[in-house]
Amino acid sequence: MSAASPASPPEKNDFIRQIIRDDLAAGRHARIRTRFPPEPNGYLHIGHAKSICLNFGIGREFAGLVNLRFDDTNPAKEDPEYVEAIKEDVRWLGFDWAELRHASDYFEVFYRAALKLIRLGKAYVCDLSAEQVREFRGTLTEPGRDSPFRDRSVEENLELFQRMRAGEFPDGARTLRAKIDMASGNINLRDPALYRIKHVEHQNTGDAWPIYPMYDFAHALSDALEGITHSLCTLEFEDHRPLYDWCVDHVDFAADPELYAPLVAAGFGVPAGKPRQIEFSRLNINYTVMSKRKLLALVNDGLVAGWDDPRMPTLQGLRRRGTPPAALRLFADRVGISKQNSLIDYGVLEGCIREVMDAAAPRRMAVLDPLKLVIDNLPAGHRETLRFANHPKDPSFGEREVPFSREVWIEREDFMEVPPKGFHRLVPGGEVRLRGVGIVRCVEVLKDGDTVTALRCTLDPESRAGMPGADRKVKGTIHWVSAADAVAAEVRLYDRLFTVADPDRDEEGHSYRDYLNPDSVRVVRGWVEPAAAVVEAEQNLQFERLGYFTADRRDHAAGAPVFNRTVTLRDTWATKGG
Whether residue 225 is annotated as binding a ligand: the answer is no
Whether residue 325 is annotated as binding a ligand: the answer is no
Query: Cβ distance 402 to 392 under 8 Å?
Result: no
Query: Cβ distance 226 to 67 under 8 Å?
Result: yes
Whether residue 40 is annotated as binding a ligand: the answer is yes
Whether residue 473 is annotated as binding a ligand: the answer is no
- Helix (H) or strand (E) holding 264, with range, is helix 261-265
> Which residue is catalytic, options 282, 294, 334, 545?
282
**Alpha carbon distance 186, 192 (integer Å):** 11
Query: Cβ distance 172 to 130 under 8 Å?
Result: yes
Q: At 569, which amino acid appears?
A: L
**Alpha carbon distance 525, 562 (integer Å):** 10
Whether residue 234 is annotated as binding a ligand: the answer is yes
Whether residue 29 is annotated as binding a ligand: the answer is no
User: Do strands 193-197 and 540-543 pair parallel, antiparallel, or not at all (unpaired)?
Assistant: unpaired
> Which residue is catalytic, options 39, 99, 156, 238?
39
Beta-carbon contacts of residue 267 (< 8 Å; ≥ 6 apart): none
The 3-state DSSP class for residue 261 equals helix
> Which residue is catalytic, options 292, 412, 435, 472?
292
Whether residue 179 is annotated as binding a ligand: the answer is no
Query: Cβ distance 559 to 488 under 8 Å?
Result: no
**Alpha carbon distance 497, 351 (integer Å):** 17
Going by C-alpha positions, the residue among 362, 451, 469 that lies closest to residue 415 is: 451
Going by C-alpha positions, the residue among 378, 399, 361 that lies closest to residue 484 is: 378
Going by C-alpha positions, the residue among 36, 3, 4, 6 that lies closest to residue 330 is: 6
**Alpha carbon distance 385, 42 (integer Å):** 50
Whether residue 71 is annotated as binding a ligand: the answer is yes
Q: Determine phi and psi for 429, rounding to 5 degrees.
A: 80, -5
Whether residue 282 is annotated as binding a ligand: the answer is yes
Whether residue 214 is annotated as binding a ligand: the answer is no
CA torsion 231→232→236→237, rounded to 10°? 10
Catalytic status, residue 355: no
Going by C-alpha positions, the residue among 268, 176, 172 that lies closest to residue 213 is: 176
Whether residue 291 is annotated as binding a ligand: the answer is yes
Catalytic status, residue 282: yes
Whether residue 290 is annotated as binding a ligand: the answer is yes
Whether residue 47 is annotated as binding a ligand: the answer is yes
Going by C-alpha positions, the residue among 440, 424, 310, 292 that lies closest to residue 372 is: 440
Catalytic status, residue 39: yes
CA angle 282, 285, 291 (to 5 degrees): 70
Residue ranges of alpha helices (H) inside 29-143 are 46-61, 80-92, 107-119, 130-137
**Alpha carbon distance 496, 346 (integer Å):** 9
**Alpha carbon distance 145, 191 (integer Å):** 10
Whether residue 45 is annotated as binding a ligand: the answer is yes
Whether residue 65 is annotated as binding a ligand: the answer is no
Going by C-alpha positions, the residue among 223, 318, 247 that lies closest to residue 540 is: 318
Whether residue 87 is annotated as binding a ligand: the answer is no
Going by C-alpha positions, the residue among 291, 270, 293, 274 that lies closest to residue 282 is: 291
Going by C-alpha positions, the residue among 504, 14, 17 that lies closest to residue 284 is: 504
Q: How many CA atoms lie within 13 A of 344 on its CB side?
A: 24
Evaluate the CA torsion angle 347, 353, 358, 362 in order and state its sign.
negative
DSSP 89-108: HHHHTT---SEEEEGGGGHH
**Alpha carbon distance 162, 259 (integer Å):** 16
Going by C-alpha positions, the residue among 20, 56, 18 that lies closest to residue 37 is: 56
As annotated, the active-site residues are 39, 282, 292
Q: Which residues contribute to the annotated binding site?
A: 39-41, 45-51, 71, 215, 234, 282-283, 290-292
Q: Which residues contribute to the annotated binding site for L-glutamine?
A: 71, 215
Q: Which residues contribute to the annotated binding site for ATP?
A: 39-41, 45-51, 234, 282-283, 290-292
